[in-house]
Structure 1
Amino acid sequence: MDMVDTSEIVLLGSFNPMIFHPEWFERYKILPLHDTQWAKRHRPEEVALKDATGTILNNPIIYVTHTITQLNFQSLAFRVLNNSFYCETKDRGSFNTVKEAVIKTFSILEHTPINAVGINFVGALEVKKKADSVLKFIFMKNDLASIFGDNYNIGGSIIIKEDTRIISCHIGSSLTKDNIIDYLINFHSDIEKDESISANKAVDIITNSYDASLEYTTRILQSLLGEYTS
């Protein structure tokens, strides 16, 4: 079974939200053609309010301003602020599209200052018993070192420190369903100051670690929760 529902890449740095619009992605062939053409057909329309007091945007799947851009394509979504860039998909078949879109974007915008990279995997797993009972049993075990190694701490999260990144595993019972366990696994890499003046290091990190991070996530979830999932 697929244990990962959502993939997100987050970059911290300095960005110009106005750059990012469907025509830009189409011009540089960053996204699948069906995404950019679909977005063109779903332009937001300015609709007058019935009381004539103003207007609203109808179907604002494309929202581009100087301070924030939000683009909702069929396969993935972007959210860009002046200090952060997010690319996300909730479609398991589009995980590679997210990776390639970010790599292509910042191979073109190579002079963008980027000082941190986050690769996130998010999901919800249905378990055979109450989620609270499963989690209590898991975290009472003494064999977590066999999964995470010796250098971890537990405090609402499991933190694994590696030489070049920090992995945070947030696992908890759902607030809405008794038999659902929610999780977020974050792979965070800070970029040294002398390398953060451009996007090159960030592109290298994503290129070399995205697939391995997904494999790691799947292995961790299978090791921790595989025997309890429905």
Structure 2
Amino acid sequence: MADGLDVRIRATTPIAIDVAFSVHAHETLALIGPSGAGKSTILRTVAGLHRVPEGTIQAGGDTWLDTAAGIDLAASRRHAGMVFQSYALFPHLTAGQNIMEAMLDRLRDERRHRADAFLKRVHLEGLGDRLPATLSGGQQQRVALARALARNPKVLLLDEPFSAVDRPTRRSLHQLLRELRSETPLPIIFITHDIEDAMASADRLCLIEAGKITADVKASRMATQCDGRLSAWLNDV
């Protein structure tokens, strides 16, 4: 998939994983399921932060992982924009400086100009001089998202982006993800435990149970064409 992401990975330890899925450009995939199902392990494997003994990962026409061929690029060599659940912002740097850290290969003036542009893109214009501690959780999340986009990634990965923010902020983040899906030619994957977040932001939902995909459903059709296993799981949450 030249413009998207293709993942096929298997592992038995420390958690059993056996999944295969693809995400197109301009498509958002939500990985949902119970705690311990393997969602974070899958995301970290795509980013290069976790190694598996068997699998292939291709993004934007590049091979990041092919265990049979001995290819396993380090995280620093994978063009993945990762937004961590904890945001992982540098506390001593301003919002703008945090974003500039993702562009160290560019001249300082260009980095500052691009940081301002990315802040505007996530609706935080005028807050570039603020330290993370002075920003709300939702604003910190947006700074982390802007920093991930500044890496010029081939895939955008978000770990529980809605878990630490209130309901109004979650709705605004839903809207932002929909905007990014439309405006940015990226495959986007995010993890969530909340089906409402998944349906509000994603094109497709993959239910992960015990390291396997047990349902793969288009969000727009879920109400009428929901797989039985997904329906049963939703009824329990």
After TM superposition, the score normalised by the length of structure 2 is 0.29
Structure showing the higher strand proportion among its residues: 1
Bigger RCO of structures 1 and 2 (CA < 8 A, at least 6 apart): 2
Higher Cα Rg, which structure = 1
